[in-house]
Amino acid sequence: MAHVITRPCCNDASCVEVCPVNCIHPTPDEPEFLTAEMLYIDPEACIDCGACIDECPVSAIFPDDQLEAKDEPYLQINADYFKDHDPDGGLVKPTRPPVMPEGKELHVAVVGAGPAAFYAAGELVKRGQVKVDMFDRLPTPYGLVRAGVSPDHAKTKGVENTFAATEKKANFTYHLNVDVGTHITHDELNARYGAILYAVGAPHDRRLNIPGEDLTGSFAATEFVAWYNGHPAYADRTFDLSGERAVVIGNGNVALDVARILLTDDAVLAATDIADYALDALKASSITEVVVLGRRGIEHAAFTNAEFLSLGDLDGIDIVIEEADLALSEGTEAALADDTLDSTIATKIRLAREFAARPRTEGNKRIVFRFLSSPLEILGDEHVTGLHCMQNSYAPSGAATPTSETFDLDASIVVRSVGYRGQPIPGLPFDRDRNVVPSDDARVTDGPDGPVLPGLYVAGWIRRGPTGGIGRNRFCGEEAAASILADFAAGSLPEPERSVDDVPELVASRGAERVDLDGWRRIDAAERAAGKTEGRRRVKLVTVDELVATARATEEAVG
Ligand code: NAP
C-alpha cells in the first residue's frame, strides 16, 4: 500500500515537512519545485504512516485503497513522476532563524491579504518582537483564495484555516477596507513602519491587442472570475449568456475554471459559495459549448494535469478533442517514442488522447479543446458574433508557427484568459517589461539591477509575475519574511520616524470605514450562518456597504 496525492494539491509542501521518509517530491529545495504542477508520493518509498494526511490543508492525500474511482488515475500520475525524477533529492534544509536583536521591536506593514501576504505574516508573527499590520482595500481578507479560487474547488479554500491561525495572533492587526494610496500613502507607511511588504498580486488582465477586443461580449477572464466569486468591484457587472457558444482564448487553469463554471450543472453550483447573482445568471444561461483555444499544441498546454483530468468527472459534459488536433512537435514525438519525455508532459498527452478516444453523449454540453490556434480578430459590429483564427503548426525547431490556413468560430462571447498583469505601486519602482516591482530576494530594488531600497519588500505575483498557485506563493511569502527578519537582525532597516498608533484615526480621517478582526469575524460568521441554512459553505456578501454594515453589527452576531 502507499499514499497518493490527488487533485486539490496546493503545493504548499506541509506534507513534505512531516514525511518521515522523504517520499514526497519535489521538495521545496529541489529545482523542480518551482515549476511542479503538484507534489507526488513515491509509492516505493511511502511507509503509509499517514502523517501527510493530517497535515494536508486541502485534504488531497489518501491511502491507495481508499481512493474514489475518479482519483484512481493519480496512482499512475504519482508513480510516473518518479520515472524521470530522482527520489533521493535532499531533505528540506532546516534554515537557521536569524538571532533577533534584544530589546528591539519591529513593526511591519503588509499590504494585501492574499496567500503570499499571509504566509509572510505567518512567519513574522512567530517572533514576539515583530508586529504585523495587514492592510487590504477590501473589507474581507484572503485575496484570490476568496475572489479567485473557483467556487467548486471548496477543498482548496481549506488553506483559509492556516490564515485564520495567523490572524488571531496578538501581534497581528487588520486594517481591512483601507486602500493604501487613498486612505494612507506609501510615505505615511514608510514613516511609521520599519518594513513594508507589498503582496498586492496582479489585479489586471492582459490584452490580446487584436481587432474587436472591445466589442460587447468580449471580456477578460479576470473580470468574469471576480464576478462569479462575488468581488465587490465586479458585483454589478452583467454578462450576456444568451448565446450557445463561448470561446475562451488561452488554456491555463483559469481558462478551465471559466469553461467549467459556464457549463456546470446549476444544482452543483448552488451548493457552492458562488455569488447568488452569478448563480441566477448561470441558471438562465443558454451556453452549451465552450471552445478552449490554445495557440500551441497539447505538449505546451498551460493547464495542469490535475485540472485537465478532473474535467472528465463533470456530469453532463463531454470533453471533446479531435485526435487530429493533437499534433506534436518532432522533438516531443521522438522523446515520447523512446520514453524519455518529461513525465508531466507525457501525462498531459496521454490524458488528451484518452479524452479524444472517449465516446460522446447526445445532448451533453461540451468543452471543446482546439490546439495550435491563434486568435486574429473578434468578429461582430457591436456585439461579438465570432472569432477569426489562424491555424498554427509546429516548425522543426519546435516553435508553433502560423500556417496559411484560417478558420472562423461562431460565438456570442469571447473570454480572453491570457494571464493577469501587475500594476505600478505609487512610491515604488516598476519594471514595465515584466509588470513587476523589481526585487532581489524579495528586497525592492531601484530598477531591475539597481540598489536595494531598505525596508521595502515584495512577495507573490507582484514580485514574480502571475504564475504559480498557492504553494508557490507560500514559499515566496516565506522568503520575503526571511529577508525582513535577516535585515532586522542585521540592523539594516530604517528607524521609523513615528509610531503606528495614529493609523486608525488617520485612515478614518480620509474616509476609510476600517474593518478589524472582530469586524471580519462578524462578516465570516454571518456568511457561514446564511450558508448553513442553504447547505452551502457560505453565502457571500457582495457589496462593500453590506460587508461594512455586517462588520459593525452587534457583538452577538459573532459565532
Ligand atoms: P497561465 O497559466 O499563464 O495561462 C495563460 C494562457 O494564455 C496560456 O495558455 C498562454 O499560451 C495563453 N496566451 C498568452 N498570451 C496569448 C495570446 N496573445 N494569444 C493566445 N494565447 C495567449 O495563466 P492563468 O490561467 O491566468 O493562471 C495564472 C496562474 O494561476 C497559473 O500559474 C495557474 O496554474 C494558476 N491557477 C491555478 C489554479 C489551480 O491550481 N486550480 C486555478 C487557477 C489559476 P502560451 O502558453 O502559448 O503562452
pTM: 0.92
Quick: pLDDT tens for 243-258: 999 999 999 999 999 9
Give a yes or no: residue 173 inside a domain. Answer: yes
- Residue 20's pLDDT is 83
Confidence of residue 471 (pLDDT cuts 50, 70, 90): confident
- Residue 392's pLDDT is 98
Quick: pLDDT tens for 136-164: 999 999 999 999 999 999 989 989 999 99
269/329 same-domain check: yes
Ligand 1 atom closest to residue 148's alpha carbon, by position in its atom list: 43
Ligand 1 lined by 252 (C-beta under 6 Å) = yes
Confidence of residue 95 (pLDDT cuts 50, 70, 90): low
Confidence of residue 34 (pLDDT cuts 50, 70, 90): confident
- Residue 89's pLDDT is 52
**Parallel, antiparallel or unpaired: strands 452-458 and 195-198:** parallel
415/436 same-domain check: no
Classify 126 as helix, strand or coil: coil
Give a yes or no: residue 339 inside a domain. Answer: yes
Percent of the chain with pLDDT over 70: 97
- How many angstroms separate the alpha carbon of residue 29 from the centre of ligand 1? 25
- Residue 371's pLDDT is 98
Nearest CA, atom 29, ligand 1 = 467
Average pLDDT, the chain: 95
- How many angstroms separate the alpha carbon of residue 465 from the centre of ligand 1? 12
- Residue 211's pLDDT is 98
350/490 same-domain check: no
- How many angstroms separate the alpha carbon of residue 189 from the centre of ligand 1? 34
Nearest partner of 417 among 148, 220, 283, 157, judged by Cα? 220
Residue 21 confidence (pLDDT) above 90: no
112/253 same-domain check: no
Boundary of a domain, candidates 419, 442, 460? 419
Quick: pLDDT tens for 306-360: 999 999 999 999 999 999 999 999 999 999 999 999 999 999 999 999 999 999 9
Residue 15 confidence (pLDDT) above 80: yes
112/180 same-domain check: yes
Residue 116 CB contacts under 8 Å (≥ 6 apart), including other chains: 199, 201, 459, 460, 461, 463, 473, 474, 476, 477, 480
- Span 296-303, mean pLDDT? 98
Burial 174-186 (b: 16+ CB within 10 A, else e): bbbbbbbeebbeb
Ligand 1 lined by 8 (C-beta under 6 Å) = no
Give a yes or no: residue 544 inside a domain. Answer: no
- Residue 41's pLDDT is 96
Give a yes or no: residue 12 inside a domain. Answer: yes
Give a yes or no: residue 99 inside a domain. Answer: no
Least confident of 89-93, 273-277, 286-290, 496-500: 89-93
Give a yes or no: residue 179 inside a domain. Answer: yes
Alpha-carbon distance values, 325 to 106, 290, 321, 386, 454 (Å): 57, 17, 7, 21, 52
Give a yes or no: residue 296 inside a domain. Answer: yes
- How many angstroms separate the alpha carbon of residue 466 from the centre of ligand 1? 9
- Span 366-381, mean pLDDT? 98
412/440 same-domain check: no
- Residue 557's pLDDT is 47
Cell of 48: 503509509
23/140 same-domain check: no
221/361 same-domain check: yes
Residue 461 confidence (pLDDT) above 90: yes
**CATH code: domain of residue 34:** 3.30.70.20
Quick: pLDDT tens for 238-295: 999 999 999 999 999 999 999 999 999 999 999 999 999 999 999 999 999 999 999 9
- Residue 558's pLDDT is 47
Residue 475 confidence (pLDDT) above 80: yes
Ligand 1 lined by 157 (C-beta under 6 Å) = no
144/281 same-domain check: no
59/167 same-domain check: no
189/214 same-domain check: no
Confidence of residue 235 (pLDDT cuts 50, 70, 90): very high
Ligand 1 atom closest to residue 254's alpha carbon, by position in its atom list: 25
Domain interval for residue 267:
208-419
SS (H, E, C) 14-46: HHHHHCCCCCEECCCCCHHHHCCCCCEECCCCC
Give a yes or no: residue 36 inside a domain. Answer: yes
- Span 527-531, mean pLDDT? 96
**CATH code: domain of residue 250:** 3.50.50.60
On the CB side of 50, how many CA atoms lie within 13 Å of its CA? 4
- Residue 212's pLDDT is 98
195/231 same-domain check: no
Boundary of a domain, candidates 81, 116, 142? 81
**CATH code: domain of residue 147:** 3.40.50.720
Boundary of a domain, candidates 361, 395, 419? 419
* Domains in the chain, number: 3
Quick: pLDDT tens for 98-113: 888 888 999 999 999 9
- How many angstroms separate the alpha carbon of residue 496 from the centre of ligand 1? 41
Residue 466 confidence (pLDDT) above 70: yes
Cell of 464: 514574480
Question: How far, in Å, CA of 541 to CA of 527, rounded?
Answer: 7
Ligand 1 lined by 468 (C-beta under 6 Å) = yes
